[in-house]
Amino acid sequence: MSITIYMPALSPTMEMGNIVKWHKAEGDQISSGDIIAEIETDKAVMEFESADEGILGKILIAEGSVDVKVNEPIAIILESENDTIEDLDIIDSNNMEATDDNEYSIIDKESGEDVVRELVDEIDTTEPDIDDGNRIFISPIAKRIAKDKGIELTDIRGTGPNGRILKKDVEAHKTEANVSAQTYVGTDLKLESGVSLESGVRLEDVSPSTKTDIINEGNKLNYTVTPIDTMRSVIAERLQQSNSTIPSYTLNIDASIKKLNEVRKKMNEDMLDETKLSFNHFLIKITSMAMLHTPEVNASWEGDQIYSYNSTDIGIAVAIDNGLITPIIRNVENKGLLKISNEISDLISRAREKKLSPSEYQGGTISISNLGSYGIKSFTSIINPPQASILSIGASRKVPVVIDDAVDIDELISVTLTADHRLIDGAVGAKFLAYMKRLIENPNLMLL
Amino acid sequence: MDLKYDVTIIGSGPGGYVAAIRSAQLGHKTAIIEKDKLGGICLNWGCIPTKALLKSSEVYSIMKKSDYYGVTAENVSFNFKNIIDRSRGVANDLSQGIGYLLKKNKIDLINGNGYILDNNTIKIQADNKETIISTKNIIISTGARPKELPGISFSEDVWSYKQAMVPDKMPKSIVVIGSGAIGIEFANFYNAIGVKVNVVELADRILPNEDGEVSEYAKTEFEKQGIKFHLGSYVNSITKSRDALNVELIHNINKKRSKLNANKVVMAVGITGNIENIGLEHNNINISDGHIITNEFMQTNVKNIYAIGDVAGAPWLAHKASHEGIIAAEHISGIQTHTIEKANIPGCVYSSPQIASIGLSESEAKNKYSSVKVGKFPLIANGKAKAISNDAGFVKVIYESATGELLGAHMIGDGVTELIHGYAIAKNMEGTEEDIMNTIFPHPTISESMHEAVLSAYDIPIHYK
C-alpha cells in the first residue's frame, strides 16, 4: 500500500506554500516524526514532519516549487519495500475523480515509474483551463495580461460574475507572481537581498514581469531588481489594508523612567544570576496592566461587532532579515517579569531564524514597537489587524527639570499610541496612555 | 398600514424607485417617500420631457429641409404650446407608470417630506399630516437641484431648466449660461425653433467634460445652425431694461467686457445635492461639497443608511442613480453585488448631432498611460450616414497599447446615443480590440463606424484612408 502526502496547511490562513527543501530523497526510509521537508508559508519556514512510516517512493513536487496549493499531493510513501508505486488506490479514489476506471486499467502495472508519471500528468491537466468541467472564467483583457506576465490562471481568484477573473484580479496577483521565478526560490531565503543584475544574474532568470519592466525602461540596468518574497508581499498587503481601512489616530505622552531604571538596576543586581531584566520586559508587563485597567483597548473590530478579550496577548515587533515579525507573548497578565524575559528571548531568537510557528505570531491584542535603540525620539506605527492599537516607544533622553527651585536631571521616554478609532475613542486611548505613564513613573504600583 | 419597514427610500427618482423595486424583489418590506411627483427630476423635469421637446424641434428642422429628400411640405410651422403640452403629457404618462410599478411590487408610497429622526425612524411631513415610520434601512435618493451663480438668482427672467421647459410663450432670444449637456440641449431646442441663442461658457471649449475633438466638432456644427458661443467668459451682471435683459459678460483672461441682449436667460451651471431638511446633520452623516459621502456599496458612515444618485455625487446621471439603487438594495439584502466603475458610465447629449461618450478622453488617456492607440472614423465614409444625408460626425476610440483595453470611446453624429452601449458592454466585459474587430456589425448602419474606428486604431481600417 502507499500513502499520499499532501501539501499541509501549516496555519489557518495558509492556502499555498513553497517547498523549500526535501530532507529525504526517494528511496529513503521514513519514520513517523521525521522531518521530510521544509515548507515556506506566508511568514515562516516550517519543518514538515511525517505522520507516516515507510519509504519515500516518489517526490511529486520538486524542491524549490512555489505556490503549491494546500492538499495538492506532494509525495508518495510506500508502506513496505515490497510495495510498488502502482498501488495508488488512495490517489485514485480521492483525487482522481475525473479518471474513470477503464482508462486507468490500461496503465502498465509492471512499471511503477510510468504510472506515477501518468498520474502526475493527470494532476497537471486537471488544473489548467478546460475539458474537465472546471472551466476558468476570465475576461479577455485579464487573460491577455495574465498571458503576457506569465501568470497561471489557476492561481488567480476571480471577483467578477460567476467568479470571473477580471483585470484587477490579475493586477492584484502580479506582485505575488514576481516571486514565481524559480531562480529566486531555492533553499536559501537570503536570495531576497537585492539581486544585482550586474553581479551575474542573467536576464532569463528574472521573472517575466520584471524583465518587461527593464526593457521598457530602456535603462542600462544600473539598478538592482528585488523580487518580492512572500513575507514582503504579506507585509505590504496587510499594512496597505490596515492603512486604508482603519481610521486611526495617534496620542503621544512623555513618561519619566528615572524611578523605573533605579528599580530595574536594583532588581538585576539582587537577582544574583545571569538574568537581566530590560526596560522592554517592564514595558510589556505595564502594557498588560494598563489594558486590564482600560479594557476597551483590549478588543478588536470584527466588521459588525467588537470582540473584547480576557487575555492580554502582546506582540513585539522584531526586525529580521528583510522584514519584520511580531511574536506574541500570550496571557501577559498571568506572567511575571522573569517569565516574560525568558519567553521573549526565546521568541526573538527563533523569529530571527524564521523558526516561529504561525500560532506564535498570529493574533495578539496589541503590539509594541521600540525604536529607541536607534535614537528615534518618537514615532507612529501602523496597526497590525486584527489588533486595534500599537505602541511606539522612543529613545530615552535626559532633560533638565526644576524641582524645589533647583535644576535636576530627569530621563524621559516618549510613548505613542496609534489606535483604531472605530472602537477606541480618543478619551479611552488617553486614559490608557495616562495609566501607562503612571505605572512607568511609579513602578511600585506594578506590585498591585 | 403597518409602519414598520425593512427598507425605506426617500425620493422616487430614477435612483429611488429602482432601489425600491429591487428591494421588493429581494423580499424586503419596502416604502418610498415622495414629496412631489413620482419619477423625480429625470422623469418630470429632466431627461424625458427634454427629449420630447428635442424630438419636436428635430421634426420641425427635418420638415423645413424636406425638399432635399424630394418631399414637399409647404408652410411648415409649429404651435409652441402644443410642443410644451406634448412634453408634459409624456412626463405625466411615465410618472403614472411608476405608480403602477410600485403597486405591482407592493411598495408603500408615502407622500410628504421625509426627515430622518434617527437611523431607524423617519418622520414624513405632508401638508397637514405627520407620519412616523420605523425602518431597518434607509436609502436617501433626494436628488439635486440647479445651482445658482453668486449674485444671479433664478427668477421669471433667469430660468432654470424647469422653467425653460414650460414657458407660456416662446422667447425671441435667450442667453444660455453653461455649455454642459443641459445648456447645450436647451440651446439646440430653442435655436431649432427659431429663437436667437447665445451660449456663455467659462471654459475655453463647449461641453468641457467631453473629448476635446468632440467639443471642437460640436461647436462648428452648432455654429452652422446659428448658435453663437462666448467661450472663456462669465456673466458679470444681468439687468433689465423694458422688455430686454442686458447680460454683461467679462472675458476671463483679458477682462474685456461685452453685452448681450436677450428676452430670457437659461442658467445651466451645474447642480447641487438636496442634502437639506432630511435630518443628515443630527444623524452625523458625512457630507462633502454638497453631496453625501458613501463607500462603493453606497453606504454612508451610518451603516444602515445609504445614499444613491445625484445626492451621492457626480456624475449626475439617471442611469448611474438607478444602478446605485440596485447596488444599495442588494447590499442591504446581503447578496453578492457589484460596484460601479466610473469609467464604464456612458454619457449622452441629445443635441443635433448627438454626442455620446464613455471612459477617458484622448488627453486624459495620454496623461494616464504611457502608450495609447487612437482610432477615428468619420461618418462621411459610412454608407448609412450618406444614405440618410446625415453624415456629420465621427467615432473615436482610445486603446491602451499594452493590454488592448478600451480606455474611451467618443461619438458625435446622428443617433449615436443609441450606439454607445455597444462600447459600454465591451468595456464592462473587459473585451479587447479583438472582440470588437471580430464582432459582425450590421450593414448598412452607422454602428459600422464603431467597428471601423477600432480597426483604424490598429491601422487597418477598410473604408477610410
Its domain, for residue A347, covers: 247-447
Which residue of A140, A161, A304 is in closest CB contact with B435? A140
pLDDT single digits (tens) B391-420: 999 999 999 999 999 999 999 999 999 999
Please report where in the chains the cell 467639443 appears, as a residue.
B215
Examine the domain organization and report whether B140 and B162 are in the same domain. no
The reply to whether residue A141 touches residue B430, judged by beta carbons under 8 angstroms, is yes
Output A130-137 pairs: Cβ under 8 A, ≥24 positions apart: A132/A98, A136/A165, A137/A161, A137/A162, A137/A163, A137/A164, A137/A165
Residue A325's pLDDT is: 87
Asked if residue B463 belongs to a domain, the reply is: no
State which residue of chain B sits closest to A163, comparing Cα positions: B336
Reduced to 3 states, what is the DSSP secondary structure of residue B327? helix
Asked if residue B378 belongs to a domain, the reply is: yes
Q: How far apart are CA A316 and CA A339, in angstroms?
A: 15
The reply to whether residue B430 touches residue A142, judged by beta carbons under 8 angstroms, is yes
pLDDT single digits (tens) B327-370: 999 999 998 888 999 999 999 999 999 999 999 999 999 999 99
Q: How far apart are CA A363 and CA A381, in angstroms?
A: 17
Cis peptide before A208 (omega within 30 of 0): no
Are B376 and B396 in contact by the 8 Å Cβ rule? The answer is: yes
Examine the domain organization and report whether A295 and A186 are in the same domain. no
Domain boundary among B218, B242, B269: B269
Residue B2's pLDDT is: 59
Q: How far apart are CA A47 and CA A357, in angstroms?
A: 9
Which residue of A139, A144, A304 is in closest CB contact with B429? A139
The reply to whether residue B403 touches residue A167, judged by beta carbons under 8 angstroms, is yes
Output B443-447 pairs: Cβ under 8 A, ≥24 positions apart: B443/B383, B444/B382, B444/B383, B444/B384, B444/B387, B445/B384, B446/B379, B446/B382, B446/B384, B446/B385, B446/B413, B446/B414, B446/B415, B446/B416, B446/B419, B447/B419, B447/B422
Q: How close B434 comes to chain A (CA, Å)? A: 9
Asked if residue B411 belongs to a domain, the reply is: yes
Q: How far apart are CA B442 and CA A190, in angstroms?
A: 61
Examine the domain organization and report whether B276 and B264 are in the same domain. no
Examine the domain organization and report whether A401 and A309 are in the same domain. yes
Sign of CA dihedral A278, A282, A288, A291: negative
* A145 CB within 8 Å of a chain B CB: yes
Examine the domain organization and report whether B197 and B185 are in the same domain. yes
Residues of B in contact with A140 (CB under 8 A): 404, 429-432, 434-435
Are A7 and A17 in contact by the 8 Å Cβ rule? The answer is: yes
Asked if residue B153 belongs to a domain, the reply is: no
Residue to test with chain A: of B284, B327, B430, B434, most A Cβ within 10 A: B430
Please report where in the chains the cell 439617471 appears, as a residue.
B318
- Please name the residues in contact with B327: beta carbons below 8 A apart, sequence gap of 6 or more: B297, B298, B308, B337, B338, B339, B340
* A144 CB within 8 Å of a chain B CB: yes
What's the domain count of chain A?
3
Are B15 and B325 in contact by the 8 Å Cβ rule? The answer is: yes
Residues of A in contact with B404 (CB under 8 A): 140-141, 144
At residue A337, φ and ψ (nearest 5 deg) are: -60, -40
Domain boundary among A232, A267, A302: A232
Helix runs in B247-359, H state only: 318-333
Examine the domain organization and report whether A266 and A149 are in the same domain. no
Residue A151's H or E segment, with its range, is none
What's the domain count of chain B?
3
Q: How far apart are CA B80 and CA B68, in angstroms?
A: 25
Asked if residue A259 belongs to a domain, the reply is: yes
All 3 cell numbers of residue B189?
Answer: 431646442
Asked if residue B465 belongs to a domain, the reply is: no
DSSP structural state of residue A51: S
Domain boundary among B269, B286, B315: B269
Examine the domain organization and report whether B113 and B189 are in the same domain. no
What percentage of chain B reaches a pLDDT higher than 90? 95
Length of chain A: 448
What number of other Cβ atoms are within 10 A of residue A364's Cβ? 21
Query: Which stretches of chain B sit within 8 Å of chain A by CB?
Result: 303, 338, 402-405, 429-432, 434-435
Q: How many CA atoms lie within 13 A of A66 on its CB side?
A: 19
- Residues of A with a catalytic annotation lie at 421
| Residue A379's CATH number | 3.30.559.10
Residue A130's pLDDT is: 45
Asked if residue A300 belongs to a domain, the reply is: yes
Please report where in the chains the cell 439687468 appears, as a residue.
B239
Catalytic residue among B28, B338, B410, B443: B443
B97 torsion bin: left (phi>0), alpha (psi -120 to 50), beta (else): alpha
The reply to whether residue A161 touches residue B338, judged by beta carbons under 8 angstroms, is yes
At residue B396, φ and ψ (nearest 5 deg) are: -130, 135
Examine the domain organization and report whether B364 and B436 are in the same domain. yes
| Residue B385's CATH number | 3.30.390.30
* A166 CB within 8 Å of a chain B CB: yes
Domain boundary among A126, A161, A182: A126
Domain boundary among B244, B269, B294: B269
Residue to test with chain B: of A138, A141, A145, A164, most B Cβ within 10 A: A141
With 0-12 / 13-18 / 19 or more C-beta atoms within 10 angstroms meaning exposed / middle / buried, residue A434 is middle
**More confident call, B166 vs A125:** B166
| Residue A54's CATH number | 2.40.50.100
Examine the domain organization and report whether B33 and B135 are in the same domain. yes
Examine the domain organization and report whether B311 and B416 are in the same domain. no
Residue B63's pLDDT is: 96
Q: How many CA atoms lie within 13 A of B314 on its CB side?
A: 9
Q: How far apart are CA B17 and CA B39, in angstroms?
A: 7
Q: How close B421 comes to chain A (CA, Å)? A: 18
Examine the domain organization and report whether A324 and A286 are in the same domain. yes
Examine the domain organization and report whether A121 and A169 are in the same domain. no
Are A355 and A35 in contact by the 8 Å Cβ rule? The answer is: no
Are A371 and A392 in contact by the 8 Å Cβ rule? The answer is: yes
Examine the domain organization and report whether B48 and B142 are in the same domain. yes
Asked if residue A379 belongs to a domain, the reply is: yes
Examine the domain organization and report whether A310 and A411 are in the same domain. yes
With 0-12 / 13-18 / 19 or more C-beta atoms within 10 angstroms meaning exposed / middle / buried, residue A145 is buried
Examine the domain organization and report whether A114 and A256 are in the same domain. no
* A303 CB within 8 Å of a chain B CB: no
pLDDT tens sequence for chain A (448 residues): 678 888 888 776 777 888 888 888 888 888 887 888 888 877 777 888 888 888 888 888 888 888 888 888 888 888 776 666 554 444 444 444 434 443 333 344 444 444 444 444 444 443 444 444 568 899 999 999 998 888 888 888 888 888 899 998 898 886 554 444 333 323 333 333 333 333 333 333 444 444 444 444 444 456 677 777 777 888 888 888 888 889 999 999 999 999 999 999 988 888 877 778 899 999 999 999 999 999 999 999 988 889 999 899 999 998 887 788 889 999 999 999 989 998 998 898 888 887 888 788 888 999 999 998 888 999 999 998 889 999 999 999 999 988 888 898 999 999 999 999 999 999 999 999 999 999 999 999 888 7
The reply to whether residue A140 touches residue B303, judged by beta carbons under 8 angstroms, is no
Examine the domain organization and report whether B290 and B426 are in the same domain. no
Asked if residue B111 belongs to a domain, the reply is: yes
Strands B108-111 and B113-118: unpaired
Domain boundary among A126, A155, A190: A126
* A422 CB within 8 Å of a chain B CB: no
Examine the domain organization and report whether B114 and B55 are in the same domain. yes
* A140 CB within 8 Å of a chain B CB: yes
State which residue of chain B sits closest to A140, comparing Cα positions: B431
Which residue of B303, B402, B430 is in closest CB contact with A140? B430
Examine the domain organization and report whether B9 and B141 are in the same domain. yes
Its domain, for residue B423, covers: 343-457
Residues of B in contact with A148 (CB under 8 A): 402-403
Q: How far apart are CA A312 and CA A291, in angstroms?
A: 7
**If we measure between CA atoms, which residue out of A39, A13, A9, A41 comes closest to residue A231?**
A41
All 3 cell numbers of residue B13?
Answer: 427618482
* A212 CB within 8 Å of a chain B CB: no
CB crowding B85-117: b at 16 or more within 10 Å, else e:
ebbeebbeebbeebbebbeeeebbbbbbbbbbe
Examine the domain organization and report whether B18 and B137 are in the same domain. yes
User: Taking 50 as the threshold, does the pLDDT of residue B177 lie above it?
Assistant: yes
Please report where in the chains the cell 519514520 appears, as a residue.
A31
ipTM of the complex: 0.80
Q: How far apart are CA B46 and CA B25, in angstroms?
A: 27
Q: How far apart are CA A139 and CA B151, in angstroms?
A: 52
Tell me, what amino acid is at B434?
E
Which regions of A53-129 does DSSP assign to beta strands (E)?
54-59, 68-69, 73-78
Examine the domain organization and report whether A153 and A112 are in the same domain. no
Whole-number average pLDDT of chain B? 95
Reduced to 3 states, what is the DSSP secondary structure of residue A432? helix
User: What is the helix, strand, coil percentage profile of chain B, to 5?
Assistant: 35, 30, 40
Q: What is the DSSP string of B57-98?
A: HHHHHHHHTGGGGT----S----HHHHHHHHHHHHHHHHHHH
Q: Which of A37-41, A335-339, B177-181, B259-263 has the lowest mean pLDDT?
A: A37-41
Q: How far apart are CA A406 and CA A112, in angstroms?
A: 90
Q: What is the DSSP string of A363-400?
A: --SEEEEE-GGGT---------TT--EEEEE---EEEE
Asked if residue A133 belongs to a domain, the reply is: no
Whole-prediction pTM: 0.59
Asked if residue A109 belongs to a domain, the reply is: yes
Q: How close B81 comes to chain A (CA, Å)? A: 50
* A139 CB within 8 Å of a chain B CB: yes
Output A38-42 pairs: Cβ under 8 A, ≥24 positions apart: A38/A187, A39/A7, A39/A8, A39/A10, A40/A185, A40/A189, A40/A230, A41/A10, A41/A11, A41/A14, A41/A17, A41/A230, A41/A358, A42/A11, A42/A13, A42/A14, A42/A230, A42/A231, A42/A234
Asked if residue B412 belongs to a domain, the reply is: yes
CB crowding A49-69: b at 16 or more within 10 Å, else e:
ebeeebbbbbbbbebbbbbbe
| Residue B226's CATH number | 3.50.50.60
State which residue of chain A sits closest to B434, comparing Cα positions: A140
- Please name the residues in contact with B362: beta carbons below 8 A apart, sequence gap of 6 or more: B211, B212, B213, B372, B374, B396, B398, B408, B410
Examine the domain organization and report whether A368 and A410 are in the same domain. yes
Residues of B in contact with A139 (CB under 8 A): 429-431
Length of chain B: 465
Tell me, what amino acid is at B305?
I
Reduced to 3 states, what is the DSSP secondary structure of residue A210? helix
Strands A68-69 and A73-78: unpaired
The reply to whether residue B404 touches residue A166, judged by beta carbons under 8 angstroms, is no
Residue A239's pLDDT is: 87
Are B257 and B249 in contact by the 8 Å Cβ rule? The answer is: yes
State which residue of chain B sits closest to A164, comparing Cα positions: B429
The reply to whether residue A140 touches residue B403, judged by beta carbons under 8 angstroms, is no
All 3 cell numbers of residue B27?
Answer: 423580499
Examine the domain organization and report whether A111 and A155 are in the same domain. no
Examine the domain organization and report whether A376 and A278 are in the same domain. yes
Which residue of B338, B430, B434 is in closest CB contact with A167? B430
Asked if residue A241 belongs to a domain, the reply is: no
Examine the domain organization and report whether A266 and A409 are in the same domain. yes
Asked if residue B182 belongs to a domain, the reply is: yes
